[in-house]
Amino acid sequence: MSATASDTLISARDVALSYGAVRALDGVSLDVPRGAILAIVGPNGCGKSTLLRVLAKLADGAQRSGEVVIAGESARDPSSLTRLRAFVPQRPEVSADFTAREVVRLGRHAVGASESAVARALDAVGLAARADLAFHTLSGGERQRVSIARALAQLDDPSKRAESSAVLLLDEPFSGIDPAEVARIVHALRERAARGAVVLSLHEPGLARAIATHALVMRAGKAIAFGPAATTLSAEILTEAYGHPMVESSAWLVPSLSAGGSIRS
């Protein structure tokens, strides 16, 4: 299949952004194709989170240049953007005394209430049984999963599940999540990517190689490599990105990702 404009769900051209004198992003360009899981990797502070927020059109407060187009249209008001992309921050926050289910329902605020979408999302992150506990009583990893469920519920469109073009963007979604739940969430992300695309930042390049179809390697606000995950996430490129020798290894124990969400009820 040849790449046409409609197969690109997010397109960024020469994006630059500064916080005062600090240049957080320096001329980054990328395309997120339909069906992709794009991993953004690089050392701490290289601009991964900033890039995600720019791609999600959440960073218009800071000085910025360049252009981001989501689903082929550049100027969209916040409410119609809601159906096209959802964002999961690194540290989700809830300042009210809501249950997990109530937090997930907030994802439906602008797209219409749907208890079935909420239930599907809670199921996808393995929190159906704990949905009525207060958010504040959940562990850090569970809170992260609640936030992922909120974003999944937001993008769930029962009327046109097949032709959806929605992009899910996640900032370090696996921090604090145990291996079995990582596998379950990877399964949910693959399902999401099949109906749109997924963009996520990761600080574990091995995990990125296992789950991503595409990768963007960053260093100091610049993209130093972008392409298919298998070739982009090479020891050589990652060595350059991290400034530390990276080697192939089979010594690390990793969760089986083919088992998906079926390993634990």
Partner 1 sequence: MTQRGLIVLVCVIALAAALRVAIGPAAAADGSVHLAFGVASGEILALRTNAALSAGLLGCVLGLSGLALQVLLRNPLASPFVLGISSGAGFGVALVLALAYTLSIPAMAFGGEVAGAVAGALATLAIVAWLGRAREGSDPTTLVLAGVIVGAIFSAGTMLLEQLVPHGLRGDLLSWMAGRLPEIPSRAAFWTLACAAAGGWITLAARAGALDVACLSDDEARSSGVDVRRLRAMLFIVGGTLAAVAVAYAGPIGFVGLVGPHIARRLVGSRHAALVPASALAGAALLVAADAARQAIDLGTGRLPVGVVTALAGGPAFLWLLRNRARSGA
Tell me the two tokens of residue 156.
Answer: 């769930």
Contact pick of 5, 93, 244, 258 for partner 1 (by CB under 8 A): 93
The answer to whether residue 103 forms part of the interface with partner 1 (CB under 8 A) is yes
Contact pick of 44, 97, 159, 247 for partner 1 (by CB under 8 A): 97
Contact pick of 11, 50, 82, 232 for partner 1 (by CB under 8 A): 82
> CA 107, 88, 144, 207: dihedral to nearest 10 degrees?
140
The answer to whether residue 112 forms part of the interface with partner 1 (CB under 8 A) is no
Residues 139-198, interacting with partner 1 (CB under 8 A): 147, 150-151, 154
CA atoms of 242 and 219, how far apart (whole Å): 8
Q: Which residues of 10-19 are buried (b: 16+ CB within 10 A; e: fewer)?
A: bbbeebbbee
Residue closer to partner 1, measured from CB, 19 or 67: 19
Tell me the two tokens of residue 188.
Answer: 């949910």
CB 122 within 8 A of CB 104: yes
Instruction: Tell me whether residue 260 is exposed, middle or buried, using C-beta atoms within 10 angstroms of its C-beta: 0 to 12, 13 to 18, 19 or more.
Output: middle
Q: Which residues of 40-73 are buried (b: 16+ CB within 10 A; e: fewer)?
A: bbbbeebbbbbbbbbbbbebeeeebeeebbbbee
CA atoms of 185 and 261, how far apart (whole Å): 7
Count, residues near partner 1 per rule CB under 8 A: 34
The answer to whether residue 96 forms part of the interface with partner 1 (CB under 8 A) is yes
Amino acid identity of residue 166, one-letter, is A
CA atoms of 183 and 168, how far apart (whole Å): 17
Contact pick of 10, 36, 69, 89 for partner 1 (by CB under 8 A): 89
Stretch that binds partner 1, among 88-96, 180-188, 209-217, 234-242 (CB under 8 A): 88-96
The least CB distance from residue 95 to partner 1, in Å, is 5
The least CB distance from residue 53 to partner 1, in Å, is 7
The answer to whether residue 136 forms part of the interface with partner 1 (CB under 8 A) is yes
The answer to whether residue 62 forms part of the interface with partner 1 (CB under 8 A) is no
Residue closer to partner 1, measured from CB, 91 or 264: 91
The answer to whether residue 71 forms part of the interface with partner 1 (CB under 8 A) is no
Binding site residues, partner 1, CB under 8 A: 53, 56, 58, 78-79, 81-82, 85-89, 91-98, 102-103, 106-107, 109-111, 134, 136-137, 147, 150-151, 154
